[in-house]
Amino acid sequence: MFLQRNRCKPHLSGINTLVFHHTAVFLLLTHCCEGQSQAIDRSKPIVAMVGDDIILPCHLETATDVAAKTLEWARLDLNPRFVHLRRDGVELLVDQHPSYIGRTSLSPDKLKHGDISLKLSKVKLSDDGTYRCFVPPQSTSVVKLVVGATSPPVVIIAEIDKSSGKVVLQCESKGWYPQPEVFWLDGEGNLLSAEPTKTVRGPDGLYTVSSRVTVEKKQSNIFTCRVEQNNINQSRTTEIHILENVFTTPSCSAVRITVVLISCVGFMVFSAVFLVLWKRRQNNINSKMQPENETGKRQQLIKGSIKLKNLTEEKAKELHKKEKEKEDMSCVITVLNTEKNELEISRDKWKSQLEETLKERGKKEKKLEKIDKRYSWDSDQKKASLLSAKQELEKKKEDYQNTLNSIVERLKNIEDMITRMTERKMDVEEQLKLE
């Protein structure tokens, strides 16, 4: 129905030896330097693209070795401000801003000749800003980076009104920055009047624009959608060639053929309905002529099939119920096993504490035996203290023993429940296998 092709027309501004491909990041470069070693003033724009690797230029007029000096690349609007930092020949990336980690580098060979240009990899929209290249004490260069992105538009036929011979075209382009404008042109390059452009900004910060235009038949039937961004001197275009028959209305002969086809189809449908009704009437007549016993047999068969169907449904419900019971018992067994494991751990803990208490009580009893052999006041006092400690240990022992007995009893009950549940589950599984 239509042919479509893309044409990209990027307008790039270059700077000396730097060449960029695809789409653009716009750089305005200005340098201001003081002192004996001044940076070269270019004052020309640099264009690159989101996702590209670029070079932020900065080098001294005098080819001085700065490999062992302090070098700073910074953005004063960030905190921390350092994009790349080198002191006394050592990279200090600890102070680097997080968004630039792993994306910046200086060339050691170029530093020996006073070239401090910074390589910035995989440019992002957040890289937009003013960069300062600083070589203490006085050499300073400033680079302003404006980030942009483009993408080719897609054109489709949205609506066709053959009665009026008009066609509605829609153009959409995703992934632009800054926000672009959309224009429609005919085959002669004349600007067409279109609906207002719709703009949506995504979570990634990029813009999606779409526009619709209503066109009529032209000499060439070629129409162009152009999306452009003047701030970064970028534009992308897509042409669409609409075939002649898209605009034309149906001819009289085509209408006649359509009417004839509809009539034929209607006659065939009428004939088919007539045959079905006639056959049904014949079947009714034949059924009335059959003996009454045949009718009785048929009714019995119908009743038998209904009864069988009901039995099958009941059987299916019963099987489903047993399957559900089996699953429920499996869940209960799993929970009981978990509780059993926890109780066994608790039982071992209390057993250990009871054993320690018994050992401690034994020690106290031995001390009491030694004191019984003495008759001094001091010995009586120690004996009273040891008797009190022994009574406390005896009480603690009783508490531990009661807790332990309770745990053992609970364990026994759980093991009995697990046994009963397992036996019931096995019975259900056997019934399911037999059925």
Environment class of 135 (CB within 10 Å of its CB; exposed 0-12, middle 13-18, buried 19+): buried
What HEC string does 134-203 produce?
EECCCEEEEEEEECCECCCCEEEEEEEECCCCEEEEEEEEEEEECCCEEEEECCCCCECCCCCCEEEECC
Task: Look at residue 6 in the predicted model and tell me its pLDDT.
Answer: 52
Task: Look at residue 286 in the predicted model and tell me its pLDDT.
Answer: 62
Task: Look at residue 290 in the predicted model and tell me its pLDDT.
Answer: 56
Q: Tell me the whole-structure pTM to 2 decimals.
A: 0.48
**Residue 232's CB: how many other CB atoms inside 10 A?**
27
Q: Which residues contact 425 (CB under 8 A, 6 or more apart)?
A: 326, 329, 330, 333
Give residue 78's identity as a one-letter amino acid code. L
Which secondary-structure segment (H or E) carries 378?
Answer: helix 377-434
Task: Look at residue 118 in the predicted model and tell me its pLDDT.
Answer: 93
Q: What is the CATH number of domain 25-146?
A: 2.60.40.10
Two structure tokens written together for 287: 């059924």
Task: Look at residue 294 in the predicted model and tell me its pLDDT.
Answer: 60
Environment class of 315 (CB within 10 Å of its CB; exposed 0-12, middle 13-18, buried 19+): exposed
In degrees, rounded to 5, the angle at the alpha carbon of residue 88 between the alpha carbons of residues 82 and 92 is 35
Two structure tokens written together for 42: 């270019």
Two structure tokens written together for 95: 């102070």
Class of CATH domain 154-247? mainly beta
Report H helices in 226-291: 244-247, 252-289
Report H helices in 23-179: 108-111
CB–CB of 435/382 below 8 Å? no
Which secondary-structure segment (H or E) carries 296?
Answer: helix 292-372
**Residue 181's CB: how many other CB atoms inside 10 A?**
15
Each of the 435 residues of the chain gets a pLDDT tens digit; together they read 444 555 544 443 333 333 333 333 333 333 333 334 555 555 566 777 899 899 999 988 888 898 888 999 999 999 999 999 998 888 888 889 999 999 999 999 999 999 999 999 999 989 988 899 998 877 788 888 888 999 999 999 888 887 777 889 999 999 999 999 999 998 888 899 999 999 999 998 999 999 999 988 776 789 999 999 988 888 999 999 887 666 665 444 444 555 556 666 666 776 777 677 777 776 666 665 555 556 666 666 666 666 666 667 777 777 777 777 777 777 777 777 777 777 778 777 777 777 777 777 777 677 666 665 554 445 566 667 777 777 777 777 777 778 778 787 877 778 777 887 788 778 777 766 666
Domain ranges of the chain: 25-146, 154-247, 252-308, 316-434
Task: Look at residue 155 in the predicted model and tell me its pLDDT.
Answer: 93
Give residue 320's identity as a one-letter amino acid code. H
Two structure tokens written together for 282: 């014949």
CB–CB of 182/193 below 8 Å? no
Q: Which residues contact 415 (CB under 8 A, 6 or more apart)?
A: 340
Task: Look at residue 293 in the predicted model and tell me its pLDDT.
Answer: 54
> In DSSP terms, which residues pair with 133 in a beta bridge?
73, 141
Task: Look at residue 19 in the predicted model and tell me its pLDDT.
Answer: 30
DSSP string, 327-348: HHHHHHHHHHHHHHHHHHHHHH
Give residue 221's identity as a one-letter amino acid code. N
Task: Look at residue 83 in the predicted model and tell me its pLDDT.
Answer: 94
pLDDT per position as a tens digit, 295-318: 666 666 666 666 666 667 777 777
